[in-house]
Amino acid sequence: MPQPNRALTALLVCLAALAGVTLADPAHGLEDFDRHFRSTLIEHGVPGGAYAVVRNGRIERVGTHGVRRVGSPEPVTADTVFRTASVSKTFAAQLTSLLVAENRLRWDDAVTHYLPEFRLQDVESTRQLQLQHLVGQSTGVVSNAYDNLLNANQPLDRILPQFASLQPLCQPGTCYTYQNVLFALVGPAIEQSTGQRYEDLLAERLFQPLGMRRASTGRAAFLAESNRASPHVRLARGQVWHPVEVAESYYLVPPAAGVNANVLDLARWLIAQQGYRPDVLSPDVIRPLKEKRVRTLRDLRRGAWRDLLSDAHYGLGWRIYTLGDEDLYLHSGWVRGFVADISYSQERKTGLVVLLNGESRALSEITTGFWSHETAAPLPRMLVGSGPDKAELSR
């Protein structure tokens, strides 16, 4: 990576000082963030958590706090595995894009090509529904359709027939409606097109080549981990956190919510998404995921984010938040007892992972605090490009 010219750097700092602008010291900023992370977890009483910050294709800092399980002394470490919940959708989208690039799938493949018995109440919507609508959260079906049946641990073969009674809100591809059950239907398409289990393909095509050593899919794999976080909830409006059993429910839809990982694994994932691992993920297979497909107006009113966002969209397996004139790619996850956030700025060559073993709005406070600080600092465009260096690029 070419080093910035020292004289030019000094000139920019002087100009910034004259303009009343401070160029943030990254090391100092991360010390502040580390304190913010720990104090926020303490304030909300979250049992434990971990974060990782990546910059310029490297893991710059990892921090942990608390315990894996209330009542036990084992601390959360950088190796502690958490459920990533809906962060799993970013992996499903990327695997689909790889197969599209290999002509084994097409984004415009009809869902009924792989699931001929699948029906919506509207015949035309059924015919028009494509893989890109599943992965792009634009099926047109009411949001979170039949998640209640997932929560009751009902398998897909019992849930899917229920969709025949649903009248879509809009035609596929024209509006945003978040899904878990429908998103997971990309799994059968992947398995039919390759003849391999979805879980095996994730490991073979993504986890292993990216060095995501503790990443896995499914409940059995999670429970087999000796260094794993336990899920915690607050019961009956109490202030005391209680460990709960690891639910099967959303593991029943692996593309939507089946991935387990630690912060180091997800840091490597963000590095690859930013284009620093072209040997595994070329720019051509990452680019489609970052296209703004449908606006997500509700996100503009989302908690702490509403003060930061100027626009919001969903791409393919990723949310795209616009802060000023900068785009941030991110996804959150939540299942019983766990919450997760991953996010990155291509322009700033920076990414953040946050994993917590308690359901808490602390997650949003941590992530928005980080990006509020990052985007408040000026972007030295003469020194920082809009993506990885060409030598790195030639996720």
pLDDT in tens, 133-192: 999 999 999 999 999 999 999 999 999 999 999 999 999 999 999 999 999 999 999 999
CA–CA gap between residue 155 and residue 233 (Å, rounded): 24
Within the chain, where are the H helices?
6-18, 26-44, 88-101, 111-114, 123-128, 131-135, 147-151, 156-159, 186-194, 198-202, 219-223, 254-257, 263-273, 283-286, 362-376, 390-393
For residues 348 and 96, give the distance between their C-alpha atoms in angstroms, rounded to a whole number: 27
In this predicted structure, what is the pLDDT of residue 200? 98
Tens digits of residue pLDDT in 347-360:
999 999 999 999 99
Give the pLDDT confidence score for residue 29 in this predicted structure.
Answer: 78
Q: What is the DSSP letter of 70?
A: T
Q: Note whether 362 and 43 are within 8 A (CB).
A: yes
Rounded (10°) angle between helices 186-194 and 88-101? 40
User: What residue segments make up the domains of the chain, in order of their start?
Assistant: 6-11+22-393
In this prediction the pTM is: 0.89
For tokens 């919450």, what's the residue? Answer: 339
Considering the domain delimited by 6-11+22-393, tell me its CATH architecture: 3-Layer(aba) Sandwich (3.40)
Q: pLDDT below 50 — which residues of the chain?
A: 1-26, 380-395
Side-chain-facing half-sphere of 142: CA atoms under 13 Å: 10
CA dist., res. 278 & res. 273, Å (int) = 9
What are φ and ψ of residue 77, in 5° steps? Answer: -125, 175
- State residue 377's pLDDT score: 72
Q: What is the DSSP string of 88-108?
A: HHHHHHHHHHHHHHTTS--TT
| R_g of the chain computed on alpha carbons | 21
Closest CA to 357 of 342, 338, 377: 338
